[in-house]
Structure 1
Amino acid sequence: MSETRKLSYSFLGPAGTFTEAALAQVPEARGQAWRSVNNVGEALADVVSGRSVAAMIAIENSVDGGVSATQDALAKVPDLRIIGEYLVPVNFVLVARPGTELADVKIVAAHPVAYAQCRDWLETHVPHHGHIPASSNVAAPASLLETEQADAAVAPPGIENHLDLTVLATDIGDNPNAVTRFVLVSRTTAIPERTGADKTSLIVELPEDRSGALLELLEQFATRGVNLSLIQSRPIGDALGRYRFVIDADGHIHDERVADALLGLRRFSPKVIFLGSYPRADLQQNEYTKRYDDDVYIGARAWLDALLRGA
């Protein structure tokens, strides 16, 4: 009897990254094959090619905002859907080769985002240090064992369990409340059932660069009582003044108010990318004024249908 083939999930590796910690929160991924990749593009390529059923990628940080590489990739790679989101508290440790003291540190290796989140601590405790950028939060400490260019590295807690390194300091993040939001991306078109604590993600292009265009885009949500938890602009790249907007709206596409907002948005913009409706990681129920309840929209539609029938 043949053994059941394991499904593959891609994540930004190597082992020990915050992305791996996010993937560990996915019940369906437990016991399956996890594929470590080097960047967001490779992760999404795995999904598009079918090598992996889904990929875990970082999309937003509470300190630095949206992850532009992820936002741009989702705008350019077609037929992808977000099927879940996961939150990972972010903190860092400073590690070095065994025998190194904090006073010996002159050069620090760190992923640029991690470095920005630890800059105040480093400037206070390692004054006049230099910084060598790394491709990931695990690549930074791993580089200490490959070259001697850096004396220490910013890394995730627990990295000493994977690499032969010494922890020089813990809790070096400048913001103890820092959280990174990750999303699980797939090619499935099935939309998760609404829970009442949902989020809908979109990428929308402005139709033209003119006064009031952004206001008209936002009105599609405001006039229907839909709150936006994220709106961030990204250049389209074909000309100055041309932007697309990454949007997270509170609610589910099966909510009448959200569906009506999407219809208005599609009439307004030449290009709307629907990235998915999925449960919120924080489980907070979506709040809205009762005049935007489903029954109100259904009642209004029934009234109009009656008029069209000549009633």
Structure 2
Amino acid sequence: MTSAPDVDSDAPVRRVYSYLGPAGTFTEVALGQVPEARDQTWRPVRNVGEALGDVVEGRADAAMIAIENSIDGGVSTAQDALATMPGLRIVGEYLVPVSFVLVGRPGTRLEDVTLVAAHPVAYAQCLQWLTGALPEHAHLPAASNVASAVGLVDGTSDADAAIAPPGILDHHELELLAEDIGDNPNAVTRFVLVSRTVAPPSPTGADKTSLIAELPDDHPGALLELLEQFSTRGINLSLIESRPIGDALGRYRFVIDADGHVADERMADALLGLRRFSPKVTFLGSYPRADRAIVHYPDRYSDDVFVEARDWLRGLLSGEPEQ
């Protein structure tokens, strides 16, 4: 990470990237995977809303935010912010393996811990271990995994211990109370890089499209009708989650990740169908998958099939004889 450069009219302008800070968070690790972010200005912020607000208001060129975890599912604050803040576009995704340690002030013993500071997502991922090792503990929510531990150091936290990334011990003098406390050793968090609205990058064959859609009304089969926009075109959904819209009880929007790129004929056709069906569709972006896995689909859903079908219809309308 670099600090803001001195003012120099001849110096290249550094791009600014916002991320959930302070330094040492998993979000910073994810930002470190972005080649174009290296040697640029990294701006630590306190929450997802502030990170995305930096982008919308021009204080940052892009923001890295956590969007999904393999244990706890979608990050609701990020999903809701993307649904309600206009002018944003996901341009990339990154995966970070997740592990945790429990730390305390120097001299703290595990048996003395009754109040544990932790980011809510980290807390959920360590709950089984905490229940077994500290059955009578209470949870104190923290803004980030690093902030939970920093609060112990600077005296702003009332907690006895904190859940934090292992690297915290490289930056602060803390007592290691337990390590590898996550309930699943294979836990992974998915992060997305968000910029202002731009054209999607060119398709790679290993792409993902993210969007948010609302149902037109609440009737039997409404969700099935939404999903059919994808299934009838051979598109696999890697994520679908409901989030309350908030204007009335029982009203939900659906956060969707679909395999493929908006430039693919089948995906474009599906989005057109979805747009006709749903009163509100928010296109969040098409971007390369973090795992670079090529998207495979049956031949009947290839681009050539969709192009041929359109040409056939065009011929019907123009009076051309069928071949």
For the criterion TM > 0.5, the same-fold answer is: yes
Moved over 6 A (4+): none
**2:211 partner letter:** L
**2:113 partner letter:** V
The 5-angstrom pairing of residues 74-153 of structure 1 reads 74-145=82-153, 146-147=155-156, 149-153=158-162
Tell me the residue number matched to 2:58.
Answer: 50
CA apart distance, 1:147: 4.4
The change in CA–CA distance for 1:251 and 1:148 in structure 2 (over 3 A counts) is closer
SS in 1 for 2:126: helix
Q: CA RMSD in A?
A: 1.2
**1:9 partner letter:** Y
Identity among equivalent positions (%) equals 71
CA apart distance, 1:157: 1.1
Instruction: Output the TM-score relative to the length of structure 2.
Output: 0.94
The yes-or-no answer on 1:25 pairing with 2:7 is no
Among residues 265, 282, 285, which one is paired with 1:276 in the alignment?
Answer: 285
SS in 1 for 2:212: strand
Moved more, 103-112 or 21-30: 103-112
Tell me the residue number matched to 2:180.
Answer: 171
Tell me the residue number matched to 1:162.
Answer: 171
SS in 1 for 2:225: helix
Tell me the residue number matched to 2:15.
Answer: 7
Tell me the residue number matched to 1:259.
Answer: 268
Deviations 1:136-155 (A, max 9, x none): 11111111121462221110
Deviations 1:26-56 (A, max 9, x none): 0010000000111111111100111100000
The yes-or-no answer on 1:288 pairing with 2:302 is no
Q: Matches of 2:265 and 2:199 in 1, distance apart?
A: 18
Q: Matches of 1:240 and 1:84 in 2, distance apart?
A: 34
Q: Matches of 1:102 and 1:154 in 2, distance apart?
A: 13
**1:195 partner letter:** T
Q: Matches of 1:267 and 1:112 in 2, distance apart?
A: 38
Moved more, 161-170 or 247-256: 161-170
Q: Matches of 1:303 and 1:106 in 2, distance apart?
A: 71
Q: Matches of 2:156 and 2:23 in 1, distance apart?
A: 20
The yes-or-no answer on 1:231 pairing with 2:267 is no
Deviations 1:192-244 (A, max 9, x none): 11111100000001111111111110110010000100111111111122211
Tell me the residue number matched to 1:185.
Answer: 194
Instruction: Output the TM-score relative to the length of structure 1.
Output: 0.97
SS in 2 for 1:59: strand
CA apart distance, 1:101: 2.5
Q: Matches of 1:100 and 1:48 in 2, distance apart?
A: 43
Q: Matches of 1:148 and 1:280 in 2, distance apart?
A: 39
Among residues 199, 215, 219, which one is paired with 1:206 in the alignment?
Answer: 215
The count of corresponding residues between Structure 1 and Structure 2 is 311
Tell me the residue number matched to 2:5.
Answer: none
Unaligned runs of 5+ in 1: none
Q: Matches of 1:284 and 1:147 in 2, distance apart?
A: 45
